[in-house]
Structure 1
Amino acid sequence: MTLTSEVPAGLRGVVVTTTGLGDVRGDEGFFHYRQYSAIDLARHRSVEDVWFLLHCGALPTPLEAQGFLAEVAAQRHLPAVLADALPVVAAAGGPLLSGLRTALSLLGAAEGFRPVYDLDPAARAADALRVCALTPTVLAALHRLRSGAEPVAPREDLDAAANWLWMLTGREPAPEHVRAIRRYLVSTVDHGFNASTFTARVVASTGADVAAAVVAALGAFSGPLHGGAPDRALAALEEIGTPERAEQWVRDQLAAGGRVMGFGHAVYRTRDPRAVLLRETALELGGDLAELAAAVEDRVVAVLAELKPGRSLHANVEYYAGVVMAQAGLDPSLFTPTFATSRVIGWCANVLEQAQDPRIIRPAARYDGPPAPSPLP
């Protein structure tokens, strides 16, 4: 095997496969799902429409959309084995995503998920639909159980965004909150070959079942440098407190070797289009938090431009994600789980695409340890 002479840190810029699901064009500040702007979809389409687009290849007709919504709604209800197990999982403590990993492993076993290698496309799609539809129900139930409340059954007359808020609170969600959460969910369904998506594809390339691939993706997603960032970005904003304190806070943070959570991105070299959309959404919802976030963003970007010349550091999606979710009434403990309810759709789309390729993903590493073979002592 011939190895390339240089391997960029974090595999930055290394192309590992082709995909028809979408792309992120970081220099332009643009990303798309299939042929459509993801931000245009977030403004004008539902989660289910984008789900259909990624899993089925095209936006649904009105009749297809109606049928797909009904199909998804029918798969949201907890099977008895999960309903019985979730109180025990909730009592164990830990982050909600840990409980979701346990629940999805149990689901795969209880419902007999088979390796995607052994399934036809229709059977793979059915397993993916089940996992995506159940994920919000599991997370909402775990949240309520840990809060000492009974789970709220999903409603078949609500779309994904409205149903998520309903299951969390048991109250009819405000239309403006549904619209804000819908925009957030659609804009985070997929985003190129990020760490969790790549993890899902690696597992899928082994022929494993859909639940196994999603559980692996959740492990990658749980890290604070990936899906765990929105609550940390909001915590930083709250620590800053006022726009006047932003400059010194950033200087102190960088001087101590810390990170400015919510700013900078591995791919974007200009403004993150998701952050632009969510800033607009936050200001539409109004309130002191949105005004603080916008004012602090402007000052932080100016300081970063001074302290890190040559790097284009702007607010990323996590910065405004926490703001918008807080405005919609969500506790910070629900920020990353909310992210997961959309990203699971993208993971499963990637699993379905990867399953069409019979080759296992098996990269190489360059050894840089002591010379071998060496004599045993």
Structure 2
Amino acid sequence: MIIHTKSAAGLDGVAAAVTALSHVDGEHGELIVAGTRIGDLAERTDFEGLVARLWSAASAKPVNETDVRRWLGEARVAAFARMKTVLPVTDGVPTIEAFRIGVAGISPADGMPLEAAIVGAMPVIAACLVRQAQGEAPVEPDPSMGHAADLLRMMRGEVASDDEAKALDAYLVTVADHGMNASTFAARVVASTQADLAMSVLAGYCALTGPLHGGAPEPVLDMLDTIATPDRIGEWIDAALARGERLMGFGHRIYKVRDPRADVLKQAVERLGGRGTDLGFAAEVEAYARRALEIAKPDRRLDTNVEFYTAILLDALGIPRRAFTPVFAVGRSAGWTAHAIEQQRTGRLLRPTAIYTGAMPE
């Protein structure tokens, strides 16, 4: 006889790891990464500094920020040298899929930890694929530049302004880690088998491509484009909700209140000025959508999430929509590598059970 036990659908409320990396408080709308609230972190720390903090917490050993800066610069140079074998096989392949091929080809680099080779390769892969899709030659990285600034330079072929580099840096910091999300869990499952970090990160990226996880920022812009003018906001949103459609950029599995990352990115967009999406129009869409969702779904709090302002920020920086998910991965790779390191150091093979509901032999 099989005895069934209660199942937690979607593993809600099930603790699958003990971590020192990040804490998500969905009831109070708070995200703490490496001991600091995300808003304070985005203001005070750049991406390289956050990477050092995450790797230090994951390994329980101090990781020097200066070393991280040097490693990531050198890793970008090493990754660029390998792109000559990646670009021919990704020509004509959609960017989101081509990026997966590029990530699968990441290999260790001399003189640095594998996690540095992985995180350093991400912006190079993203930028080279964007240039290839535009019919332009790849741009060699500059190891002396910051991660965010060099990503924009490699993607555009020219140096970005300080404001633009700071805005992208704030984005990378904001999305670097977020508790036991789907892609981080996937990375930890693979790491728990003692597979190497590159395999864990590849699993994380594959999970990120799903529309219920990291694949939603692009449809936010599609929604804004479709609404087009302020006079159509109410009509379009009401009709979408009447059809039972999800409003992209609203609602979150964990947060019962506003996603704290949305405000961080909104501030970053505002500092850029009036580039890209009309901020006034976007604010009107956001306000109406929040009111409409409150009326349509009074039993659920569906507030603005990180994807709404991610889309607007990346658009303001001139990053093509097809590259939104790869650029998300540039930031999240810091968290994936840290979680994989922590899992292999403190965890065991992740092997949950399942409740069998099929037929039994006579």
Task: In structure 2, give the amino acid aligned to 1:54.
Answer: L
Distance of 1:308 and 1:15 partners within structure 2? 28
Map of 2:320 onto structure 1: 331
- Percent identity over the alignment? 35
Map of 1:144 onto structure 2: 131
1:86–1:142: 8 Å Cα contact kept in structure 2? Answer: no
Distance of 1:255 and 1:8 partners within structure 2? 30
Alignment partner of 1:171 is 2:158: yes
Alignment partner of 1:308 is 2:307: no
In the TM superposition, residue 4 of structure 1 has moved relative to its aligned partner by 7.4
Distance of 1:255 and 1:41 partners within structure 2? 40
Distance of 2:194 and 2:237 partners within structure 1? 46
Distance of 1:9 and 1:140 partners within structure 2? 38
After superposition, residues 28-67 of structure 1 pair within 5 angstroms as: 28-57=28-57, 64-67=64-67
TM (norm. structure 2) is: 0.92
Match of 1:260 among 210, 224, 247: 247
1:242–1:296: 8 Å Cα contact kept in structure 2? Answer: no
Provide the secondary structure at the position in 2 that maps to 1:300. Answer: helix
Distance of 1:81 and 1:35 partners within structure 2? 37
Map of 1:9 onto structure 2: 9
Map of 2:117 onto structure 1: 130
1:82–1:103: 8 Å Cα contact kept in structure 2? Answer: no
After superposition, residues 1-377 of structure 1 pair within 5 angstroms as: 5-57=5-57, 64-79=64-79, 82-94=82-94, 96-108=95-107, 111=108, 126-287=113-274, 289-357=278-346, 359-370=348-359, 372-374=360-362
Task: In structure 2, give the amino acid aligned to 1:170.
Answer: G
TM (norm. structure 1) is: 0.89
2:92–2:133: 8 Å Cα contact kept in structure 1? Answer: no
Task: In structure 2, give the amino acid aligned to 1:15.
Answer: A
In the TM superposition, residue 308 of structure 1 has moved relative to its aligned partner by 0.7
In the TM superposition, residue 112 of structure 1 has moved relative to its aligned partner by 9.4
In the TM superposition, residue 174 of structure 1 has moved relative to its aligned partner by 1.4
Distance of 2:312 and 2:81 partners within structure 1? 36
2:259–2:303: 8 Å Cα contact kept in structure 1? Answer: yes
What do residues 106-140 of structure 1 show as CA deviations (whole Å, max 9, x unaligned)?
A: 334xx599xxxxxxxxx9x8111111111111111
Task: In structure 2, give the amino acid aligned to 1:107.
Answer: I
Task: In structure 2, give the amino acid aligned to 1:126.
Answer: P
For these two proteins, the number of residue pairs brought into alignment is 355
Q: 1:29 to 1:80 in 2, by over 3 A?
A: closer
Task: In structure 2, give the amino acid aligned to 1:24.
Answer: V
Distance of 2:335 and 2:39 partners within structure 1? 15
Q: Which runs of 5+ in 2 are unaligned?
A: none
Q: 1:265 to 1:42 in 2, by over 3 A?
A: same
In the TM superposition, residue 92 of structure 1 has moved relative to its aligned partner by 4.4
Provide the secondary structure at the position in 1 that maps to 2:301. Answer: coil
In the TM superposition, residue 99 of structure 1 has moved relative to its aligned partner by 2.1
Q: Which runs of 5+ in 1 are unaligned?
A: 114-122
1:243–1:292: 8 Å Cα contact kept in structure 2? Answer: yes
In the TM superposition, residue 286 of structure 1 has moved relative to its aligned partner by 2.9
Q: 1:103 to 1:329 in 2, by over 3 A?
A: closer
In the TM superposition, residue 11 of structure 1 has moved relative to its aligned partner by 1.2
